[in-house]
Amino acid sequence: MSDTVERIKQQISDNTVLLYMKGSPKLPQCGFSSQASQAVMACGERFAYVDILQNPDIRAELPKYANWPTFPQLWVNGELVGGCDIIVEMYQKGELKPLIEEAIKGASEEG
Protein backbone atom coordinates (compact mmCIF):
# COMPACT_ATOMS: atom_id res chain seq x y z
CA MET A 1 0.00 0.00 0.00
CA SER A 2 1.28 3.46 -0.87
CA ASP A 3 2.49 5.99 1.68
CA THR A 4 -0.23 8.34 0.48
CA VAL A 5 -3.01 5.84 1.26
CA GLU A 6 -1.44 5.28 4.70
CA ARG A 7 -1.45 9.05 5.23
CA ILE A 8 -5.12 9.28 4.19
CA LYS A 9 -6.05 6.47 6.61
CA GLN A 10 -4.13 8.22 9.39
CA GLN A 11 -5.85 11.56 8.72
CA ILE A 12 -9.27 9.91 8.72
CA SER A 13 -8.60 8.02 11.94
CA ASP A 14 -7.00 11.03 13.70
CA ASN A 15 -9.86 13.45 12.95
CA THR A 16 -13.44 12.79 14.01
CA VAL A 17 -14.73 15.26 11.42
CA LEU A 18 -12.55 15.74 8.34
CA LEU A 19 -13.29 17.62 5.13
CA TYR A 20 -11.14 17.05 2.07
CA MET A 21 -11.64 20.17 -0.03
CA LYS A 22 -10.12 22.57 -2.53
CA GLY A 23 -8.67 25.43 -0.53
CA SER A 24 -9.55 26.11 3.10
CA PRO A 25 -12.86 26.82 4.85
CA LYS A 26 -11.94 30.52 5.00
CA LEU A 27 -10.65 30.62 1.40
CA PRO A 28 -12.32 27.85 -0.58
CA GLN A 29 -11.04 27.43 -4.13
CA CYS A 30 -14.24 26.07 -5.69
CA GLY A 31 -17.97 26.57 -5.28
CA PHE A 32 -18.62 23.02 -4.12
CA SER A 33 -15.93 23.19 -1.44
CA SER A 34 -17.32 26.56 -0.37
CA GLN A 35 -20.87 25.24 0.05
CA ALA A 36 -19.69 22.10 1.83
CA SER A 37 -17.41 23.90 4.27
CA GLN A 38 -20.11 26.50 5.06
CA ALA A 39 -22.58 23.73 5.88
CA VAL A 40 -20.05 21.98 8.14
CA MET A 41 -19.01 25.27 9.81
CA ALA A 42 -22.68 26.10 10.42
CA CYS A 43 -22.91 22.99 12.61
CA GLY A 44 -20.77 24.87 15.13
CA GLU A 45 -18.20 22.16 15.86
CA ARG A 46 -14.51 22.22 15.12
CA PHE A 47 -13.40 20.11 12.20
CA ALA A 48 -10.21 19.34 10.36
CA TYR A 49 -9.68 19.88 6.67
CA VAL A 50 -7.11 18.93 4.07
CA ASP A 51 -6.52 21.22 1.09
CA ILE A 52 -6.15 18.76 -1.79
CA LEU A 53 -4.72 21.51 -4.01
CA GLN A 54 -1.70 21.59 -1.67
CA ASN A 55 -1.59 17.77 -1.61
CA PRO A 56 -1.71 16.48 -5.19
CA ASP A 57 -0.84 12.96 -4.04
CA ILE A 58 -3.94 12.87 -1.82
CA ARG A 59 -5.99 14.43 -4.61
CA ALA A 60 -4.94 11.56 -6.86
CA GLU A 61 -5.32 8.69 -4.35
CA LEU A 62 -8.34 9.59 -2.22
CA PRO A 63 -11.01 9.05 -4.93
CA LYS A 64 -9.71 5.49 -5.41
CA TYR A 65 -9.46 4.83 -1.67
CA ALA A 66 -12.91 6.31 -0.95
CA ASN A 67 -14.51 4.94 -4.11
CA TRP A 68 -15.89 8.49 -4.51
CA PRO A 69 -14.69 10.40 -7.58
CA THR A 70 -15.16 14.03 -6.57
CA PHE A 71 -14.26 16.64 -3.96
CA PRO A 72 -15.14 17.81 -1.40
CA GLN A 73 -15.45 14.70 0.73
CA LEU A 74 -16.71 14.76 4.31
CA TRP A 75 -15.61 12.00 6.67
CA VAL A 76 -17.19 11.55 10.09
CA ASN A 77 -16.01 8.85 12.49
CA GLY A 78 -13.99 7.20 9.75
CA GLU A 79 -16.99 6.92 7.42
CA LEU A 80 -17.43 8.79 4.16
CA VAL A 81 -20.57 10.91 4.47
CA GLY A 82 -20.43 12.17 0.90
CA GLY A 83 -19.76 15.16 -1.30
CA CYS A 84 -21.19 18.64 -1.64
CA ASP A 85 -24.76 17.74 -2.63
CA ILE A 86 -25.14 15.21 0.17
CA ILE A 87 -23.52 17.51 2.77
CA VAL A 88 -25.76 20.47 1.84
CA GLU A 89 -28.88 18.30 1.64
CA MET A 90 -28.17 16.75 5.06
CA TYR A 91 -27.58 20.22 6.49
CA GLN A 92 -30.87 21.54 5.06
CA LYS A 93 -32.78 18.54 6.43
CA GLY A 94 -31.23 19.08 9.87
CA GLU A 95 -29.33 15.77 9.73
CA LEU A 96 -25.74 17.03 9.51
CA LYS A 97 -25.52 18.92 12.81
CA PRO A 98 -26.65 15.99 15.02
CA LEU A 99 -24.37 13.61 13.10
CA ILE A 100 -21.34 15.83 13.71
CA GLU A 101 -22.32 16.65 17.32
CA GLU A 102 -22.76 12.96 18.17
CA ALA A 103 -19.41 12.11 16.57
CA ILE A 104 -17.59 14.88 18.48
CA LYS A 105 -19.32 13.94 21.73
CA GLY A 106 -18.44 10.28 21.26
CA ALA A 107 -14.82 11.10 20.48
CA SER A 108 -14.44 13.30 23.56
CA GLU A 109 -15.95 10.60 25.78
CA GLU A 110 -13.48 8.03 24.39
CA GLY A 111 -10.51 10.35 24.84
pLDDT tens for each residue of 48-106 = 999 999 999 999 999 999 999 999 999 999 999 999 999 999 999 999 999 999 999 99
Query: How buried is residue 45: exposed, middle or buried, by Cβ count under 10 Å (0-12/13-18/19+)?
Result: middle
Q: Residue 111: pLDDT band by 50, 70, 90 thresholds?
A: low
Count the domains in the chain: 1
Strand (E) or helix (H) holding 106:
helix 96-110
- Alpha carbon distances (Å) from 16 to 2, 86, 111: 23, 18, 11
This prediction has a pTM of: 0.95
What's 70's domain CATH number? Answer: 3.40.30.10
User: How many other C-beta atoms can be found within 10 angstroms of the C-beta atom of residue 87?
Assistant: 23
* Structural domain containing residue 90: 3-110
